[in-house]
Structures are given as C-alpha cells and as structure tokens.
C-alpha cells in the first residue's frame, strides 16, 4: 500500500546587478513513489509497479541564471544547474539501493534581431541534461535545440514564420539502462521528433490583440 508523498524545497538566492541570479537549493520528497521494473529470479517474467522510496529526488545543488543583452540586437537568458541526486529504497525486493549522482542542466533562450527593415527576428532555444538516475534506472543524456525565423510586415498585419523543432532529432531518442545487482536491461527510444514548419498569419480588418498584463521584470534589468 502506497503512502502519501511530501515535497520540501528550500532556496537561497542572491541577485547581482539585476542580471545575475545565484542560488543554492535543497529538495527532498519523503515517501515518494516511482515505477520500477524487477526481473523475477525463478522465471522469465518482469514485474513493473510503483514502489515507495525512503528518499527520492533528495537533491541539493547550485543554480546560476543570467540575462544577455548586446546592443539591442541580441537578448536572451541562460541557466546552469549542478545538482546531486539521491534515490534510496530499503525494501526493493532483495536488492535495496542507495544511489547518488551529479547531474548538470543547461537551458538557454535567445532572440536575435537580424534586420529591422524588413523586420526579421530569429529565436534559438536549447536544453541539455547530462546522464541521470531514477531508482535502478540509468538515464542517458537529453538534448533539444529549436530555432525559428519570423518576418513581420511593415503594417504589422502579416507574419511569416519558419520553425525547426528538435534540430538534432534527439528529444525522443532516450536510452534507459539497468545494470544493478542481478538486474540487466536496456530500453532505447528511437522516435523521430524533428520537423520543420512554415506558418503564415494575417490580421484582417481592425483586429487588435488584447493587451496582456506583463510581469514586472525591472529588477532583473528588463
């Protein structure tokens, strides 16, 4: 019988010159449950069910976040996280585990003004995570890069956008391995997710977009 899980998070952050954010954090999820497989030793069968962990996603680490703005033609942000994960289960069949691993995450989003007349803007975003662990699973690297180029007409009524999603076709090509105690398996996902789209938007008549209340980011240099 699974018990309710809790989630505790503590963050200490420091903002420097309204552009750089440095943070220390600690997160713990007592009694968290995760779906894990187990191959039976006496017959060719695998049991796959949720198990309660003593410590799951017990992690602490560092986070650095910065804003980029170069001469009004390039603006963006970047984030780097270094964290130490820990998963522990004392009653996982006959192979209890207490596994720890450092994981690094990098995320960035950038807007580049290629031309003002005509109005052409390029957006580039990327995400990268190094190898990680979940229970007895070993998870492979994860990467995703997406970019788009948008042209806007002088009267702001027409927009033409060319988008390339998952340029390196790596978002859904995950590699899951189990090489722990007497458990050995490998699951590889080879689903292709890369695609290119071309979209055209035109605003007819006197249509005006509804004004949305913007989040105040003045303290971060915006």
Residue 222 pLDDT greater than 50, yes or no: no
* Per-residue pLDDT at 221: 46
When pLDDT is cut at 50, 70 and 90, the band that residue 220 belongs to is very low
Q: What is the pTM of this model?
A: 0.80
Question: Other CB atoms closer than 10 Å to residue 20's CB: what's the count?
Answer: 14
Number of domains in the chain: 1
178: in domain: yes
* Per-residue pLDDT at 62: 87
Domain that includes residue 111, residue range: 8-209
To the nearest 10°, report the CA torsion of 48, 54, 56, 62.
Answer: -160
* Per-residue pLDDT at 195: 92
List, for residues 5-42, the tens digit of each pLDDT value. 888 899 999 998 888 899 999 988 888 888 899 999 88
Reduce the DSSP state of residue 220 to 3 states and report it.
helix
To the nearest 10°, report the CA torsion of 63, 80, 144, 180.
Answer: -70
* Per-residue pLDDT at 55: 63
174: in domain: yes
158: in domain: yes
2: in domain: no
List, for residues 144-182, the tens digit of each pLDDT value. 999 999 999 998 889 999 999 998 888 777 788 999 999
3: in domain: no
User: Which segment, 43-57, 67-81, 116-130, is predicted with the most confidence on average?
Assistant: 116-130
């Amino acid at each position: 019988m699974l018990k309710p899980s809790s989630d505790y998070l503590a963050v200490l952050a420091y903002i420097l010159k309204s552009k750089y954010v440095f943070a220390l954090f600690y997160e713990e999820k007592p009694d968290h449950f995760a779906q894990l497989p187990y191959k039976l030793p006496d017959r060719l069968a695998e049991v796959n069910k949720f198990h309660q962990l003593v410590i799951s996603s017990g992690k602490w680490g560092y986070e650095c976040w910065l804003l980029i703005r170069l001469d009004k033609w390039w603006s963006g942000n970047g984030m780097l996280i270094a964290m130490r994960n820990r998963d522990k289960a004392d009653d996982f069949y006959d192979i209890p585990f207490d596994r720890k691993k450092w994981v690094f995450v990098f995320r960035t989003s950038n807007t580049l003004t290629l031309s003002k007349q005509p109005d052409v803007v390029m957006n580039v975003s990327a995400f990268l995570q190094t190898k990680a662990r979940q229970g007895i699973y070993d998870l492979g690297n994860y990467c995703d890069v997406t970019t788009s180029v948008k042209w806007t007409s002088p009267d702001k009524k027409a927009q033409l956008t060319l988008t390339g999603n998952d340029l390196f076709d790596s978002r859904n090509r995950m590699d899951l391995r189990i090489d722990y105690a007497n458990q050995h398996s490998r699951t590889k996902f080879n689903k292709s997710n890369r695609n290119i789209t071309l979209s055209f938007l035109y605003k007819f008549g006197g249509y005006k977009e509804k004004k949305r209340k913007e989040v105040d980011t003045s303290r971060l240099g915006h």
